Amino acid sequence: MNLYNIKHPEEQVTFSQAVRQGLGRDQGLFFPEVIPQLNNIDELLELPLVERSQKILGALIGEELPKATLDEMVKNAFTFTVPLEKVEDNIYALELFHGPTLAFKDFGGRFMAQALAAVRGDGKITILTATSGDTGAAVAHAFYGLENINVVILYPKGKISPLQEKLFCTLGGNIRTVAINADFDACQALVKQAFDDAELRQAIGLNSANSINISRLLAQVCYYFEAVAQLPKEKCDNVVVSVPSGNFGNLTAGLIAKTLGLPIKRFVASTNVNDTVPRYLKSGNWDPKTTVATLSNAMDVSRPNNWPRVEELFKRNGWNLSDLGSGMLSDSETEDTLKAMNAEGYVCEPHGAIAYQVLKDQLKAGETGIFLCTAHPAKFKESVERILGIQLSLPEALDKHNQLPLLSDEMDNDFAQLRAYLLK
Ligand X SMILES: Cc1ncc(COP(=O)(O)O)c(C=O)c1O
249 binds ligand X (CB under 6 A): yes
The least distance separating ligand X from the CB of residue 96, rounded to whole angstroms, comes to 9
> x/- string (CB under 6 A) for ligand X, residues 339-378?
------------x----------------------xx---
Residue selected from 87, 103, 179, 187 as contacting ligand X according to rule CB under 6 A: 103
Q: Give 215 or 245: the residue with its C-beta nearer to ligand X.
A: 245
The least distance separating ligand X from the CB of residue 132, rounded to whole angstroms, comes to 12
The least distance separating ligand X from the CB of residue 102, rounded to whole angstroms, comes to 10
Contact 302, 276 (CB under 8 A): yes
Contact 367, 238 (CB under 8 A): yes
The least distance separating ligand X from the CB of residue 302, rounded to whole angstroms, comes to 12
Q: Give 182 or 298: the residue with its C-beta nearer to ligand X.
A: 298
Stretch that binds ligand X, among 20-28, 152-160, 172-180, 238-246 (CB under 6 A): 238-246
d(Cα 246, Cα 283) in Å, to the nearest integer?
19
Q: What b/e string do you get for 172-211 counting C-beta neighbours within 10 Å, with b at 16 or more?
A: eebbbbbbbebebebbbebbeebeeeeebeeebbbbbbeb
* Total of chain residues touching ligand X, rule CB under 6 A: 13
d(Cα 364, Cα 344) in Å, to the nearest integer?
21
Q: Give 174 or 296: the residue with its C-beta nearer to ligand X.
A: 296
Q: Give 351 or 381: the residue with its C-beta nearer to ligand X.
A: 351
278 binds ligand X (CB under 6 A): no
d(Cα 163, Cα 376) in Å, to the nearest integer?
14
Element (H, E) at 196: helix 184-196
248 binds ligand X (CB under 6 A): yes
250 binds ligand X (CB under 6 A): yes
> x/- string (CB under 6 A) for ligand X, residues 320-339?
--------------------
Q: Give 286 or 421: the residue with its C-beta nearer to ligand X.
A: 286
* Residue partners of 69: CB distance under 8 A and separation at least 6: 118
Phi, psi of 270 (to 5 degrees): -110, 130
299 binds ligand X (CB under 6 A): yes
Question: Which amino acid, one-letter code, is at 208?
Answer: S
* Residue partners of 359: CB distance under 8 A and separation at least 6: 91, 240, 242, 268, 270, 369, 370, 371
Considering only residues 16 to 35 of the shown chain, the ones binding ligand X according to CB under 6 A are none
Contact residues toward ligand X (CB under 6 A) are 103, 244-250, 298-299, 351, 374-375
